[in-house]
């Protein structure tokens, strides 16, 4: 785990300013972004309460009709399931033909840039996209199975036509652990850099990719593997930590 916090030390001025804000302003910032207004927040809450939980075809129709009013950019023939969590919708873009199953979380933090979901993508039930910084991008035609966790602190890019198995994790960041007097969860957030996944990559069930790794194109990562270093194109990787076991070509 990298303990370099040079990219991730809290901005003290922003932190102090946020603490001076009212509870309403802090909540509005989390819900609809730093540029959001109270009117945007009211609309967001109405959609969040009345539209996101709606079942069936009518619920999908209502979400496609009303979510763009919050600033979300949604393509044609998108299907968004019920009980999804959507934060900072103005920073979210969803391409045509994409399917987002029930209880998916699309969370773009106020300091992040945006979440881009390409065309004809599948996000499985209960998957979490946590865009805490940079750009989190999922390429066209990729399939993300149920209960995955996709994190971005300095950026995460998943290429086109990738397949990611159930409960897989792309870690966007970690915590320092050098101070034994402070619980790890309370120590500063660290990140080695953006995580980049090439086109046509297959990631098995429950595999974990740590922050900052670069995965080449046409790679196959076996189930339950831990990837903590870069992987070249056209390789098969397995193990904890992951090691090259063969080639895909």
DSSP letters along 192-224, please?
Answer: -S-EEE-TT-EE-TT-EE-TT-EE-TT-EE-TT
Q: Which residue has the tokens 């945006």?
A: 114
Q: Which of 143, 175, 206, 214 is catalytic?
A: 175
Strand partners, 87: 107
175 labelled catalytic? yes
Q: Is 183 in contact with 200 (CB distance < 8 Å)?
A: no
Nearest to 45 by CA among 61, 69, 64: 69
Measured CA distances, 1 to 4, 16, 83, 173, 192 (Å): 9, 29, 35, 10, 9
**Cα 240 from Cα 54, distance rounded (Å):** 42
Q: Which residues are catalytic?
A: 175
């Amino acid at each position: 785990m990298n303990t370099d916090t040079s990219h991730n030390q809290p901005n003290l001025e922003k932190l102090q300013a946020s603490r001076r804000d009212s509870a309403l302003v802090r909540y509005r910032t989390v819900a609809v972004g730093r540029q959001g207004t109270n009117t945007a927040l009211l609309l967001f809450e109405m959609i969040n309460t009345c539209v996101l939980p709606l079942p069936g075809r009518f619920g999908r129709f209502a979400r496609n009709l009303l979510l763009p009013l919050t600033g979300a950019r949604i393509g044609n023939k998108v299907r968004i399931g019920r009980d999804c969590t959507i934060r900072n919708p103005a920073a979210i873009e969803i391409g045509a033909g994409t399917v987002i199953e029930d209880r998916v979380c699309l969370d773009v933090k106020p300091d992040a840039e945006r979440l881009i979901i390409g065309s004809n993508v599948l996000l499985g039930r209960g998957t979490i996209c946590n865009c805490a910084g940079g750009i989190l991008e999922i390429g066209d035609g990729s399939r993300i199975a149920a209960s995955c966790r996709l994190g971005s602190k300095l950026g995460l890019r998943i290429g086109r036509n990738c397949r990611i198995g159930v409960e897989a994790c792309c870690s966007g960041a970690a915590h320092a652990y050098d101070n034994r007097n402070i619980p790890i969860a309370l120590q500063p957030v660290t990140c080695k850099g953006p995580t980049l996944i090439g086109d046509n990559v297959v990631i098995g069930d429950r595999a974990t990719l740590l922050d900052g790794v670069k995965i080449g194109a046409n790679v196959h990562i076996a189930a339950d593997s831990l990837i903590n270093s870069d992987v070249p194109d056209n390789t098969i990787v397995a193990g904890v930590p992951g090691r090259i076991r063969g080639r895909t070509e």
